[in-house]
Amino acid sequence: MRAWETRDVSGDVSPKDRFVTIYGRKPVLEALGDLDLRVDKVILAEDVCGPVVQEIKEAAADRAVRVQRASAHRVKVLAGNGRHDQGVAADVVARRMRPLVDALADPAHAPGRLLLLDGLTTPANVGMILRTATASGIDGIVVPHRGVAAIDPLVIKASAGVAFHAPVLRTRTAAEAAELLTEAGYPLYALDASAETGLFEADFGPRAVFVLGSETAGLSAEVQERIAQPIGIPMHNGIESLNVASAAAVLCYEINRRTR
């Protein structure tokens, strides 16, 4: 098994690459009430109770969703949030989410144009990028497990629920994704306000990866060394750059325009 593959000991895809784990009583209850979502299971801390918890249990029973009890500490670990889980978490099936290595396994059917997120830790930006990329028809958004905001209720809210349905591809880190993609023959392009080549003039082949880095720290060194070409969005009136989510929207719809 290679370093970037996230599979359990049985060889199955890791739950982290199949489910979006949400937490909090209201988000879990809302997910159970959304018939477009498939909830795999609900986990309740052993000491939680009350009217909302009872509603959650009844809603889960109505949809034949498993309800498991666990220690409060275990729920916090599963939720990845120590303050806001309220003793409740749930695994929601993300139908289009899968490991990047699986998406690239068959070159004939591998995705064409991809986004790679590197160091984006603000949930609002990640959520908006997932929404825009999905709406514009981008083939996949690589969201590493480390170094990028987790797909949690904050990201889901910013995406207006699209995060559950986005074509998310998972790896452990952006560096591993960059290595895997370059080995598969994808050139990597980075948005860079100082780039000599503009987005609207750059020539992209049918397969390309566009890397979106942190607004403050930029790209990680491991990803930066694999960039084939930086590209810029033209700026006027003294404006140096756009917010990363806004830049992603410009990029996604330029890609959409070229592939219509």
Q: Determine, yes or no, domain membership for 5.
A: no
CA quadruple 239, 209, 111, 115: dihedral sign: negative
How far is residue 139 from each of residues 38, 112, 166, 171, measured CA to CA in Å?
Answer: 22, 6, 9, 16
User: Do 51 and 154 belong to one domain?
Assistant: no
User: Do 115 and 221 belong to one domain?
Assistant: yes
Dist CA 188 CA 227 (whole Å):
5
* Among 75, 93, 111, residue at a domain's last position: 93
* Among 58, 93, 128, residue at a domain's last position: 93
Q: Determine, yes or no, domain membership for 10.
A: no
Dist CA 20 CA 149 (whole Å):
13
User: Do 107 and 160 belong to one domain?
Assistant: yes
Q: Determine, yes or no, domain membership for 3.
A: no
User: Do 71 and 195 belong to one domain?
Assistant: no
pLDDT of the residue at 194: 83
Sheet-wide strand order for 88-93: 19-23, 88-93, 39-45, 66-70
CATH classification of the domain holding 125: 3.40.1280.10
pLDDT tens digits for range 139-152: 999 999 999 999 99
Dist CA 26 CA 21 (whole Å):
14
What is the 3-state composition of the chain as percent helix, strand, coil, each rounded to the nearest 5?
35, 20, 40
- Taking alpha carbons only, the member of 41, 16, 11 closest to residue 143 is 16
CA 92 distance to own-chain centroid: 14
User: Do 161 and 228 belong to one domain?
Assistant: yes
pLDDT of the residue at 13: 72
**What are 220's two structure tokens?**
């990680």
User: Do 180 and 87 belong to one domain?
Assistant: no
User: Do 114 and 235 belong to one domain?
Assistant: yes
- Taking alpha carbons only, the member of 136, 13, 152 closest to residue 82 is 152
User: Do 25 and 139 belong to one domain?
Assistant: no
User: Do 115 and 157 belong to one domain?
Assistant: yes
User: Do 50 and 163 belong to one domain?
Assistant: no
* Among 73, 93, 113, residue at a domain's last position: 93
Q: Determine, yes or no, domain membership for 46.
A: yes
Q: Determine, yes or no, domain membership for 130.
A: yes
User: Do 77 and 128 belong to one domain?
Assistant: no
In the chain, the N- to C-terminal Cα span, in Å, equals 38
Spell out the per-residue pLDDT of the chain, length 260, in tens: 344 445 544 456 788 888 999 999 999 999 999 999 999 999 999 999 999 999 999 999 999 999 999 999 999 998 886 678 999 999 999 999 999 999 999 999 999 999 999 999 999 999 999 999 999 999 999 999 999 999 998 999 999 999 999 999 999 999 999 999 999 999 999 998 888 999 999 999 899 999 999 878 789 999 999 999 999 999 999 898 899 999 999 999 999 998 87
Q: Determine, yes or no, domain membership for 12.
A: no
- 3-class SS of residue 227: strand
Q: Determine, yes or no, domain membership for 4.
A: no
Beta strands in 87-235 (DSSP E): 88-93, 98-99, 113-118, 140-142, 168-170, 188-191, 208-213, 227-231
pLDDT of the residue at 81: 66
CATH classification of the domain holding 77: 3.30.1330.30
User: Do 223 and 143 belong to one domain?
Assistant: yes
Dist CA 59 CA 65 (whole Å):
8
How many Cα atoms occupy the beta-carbon half-sphere of 92 within 13 Å? Answer: 28
The pTM score is 0.90
Give the structural domain span for 61. 19-93
Query: How many domains does the chain divide into?
Result: 2
Q: Are 157 and 132 in contact, with CB atoms under 8 Å apart?
A: no
255 CB contacts (<8 Å, ≥6 apart)? Answer: 113, 136, 138, 204, 210
pLDDT of the residue at 12: 66
Q: Determine, yes or no, domain membership for 2.
A: no
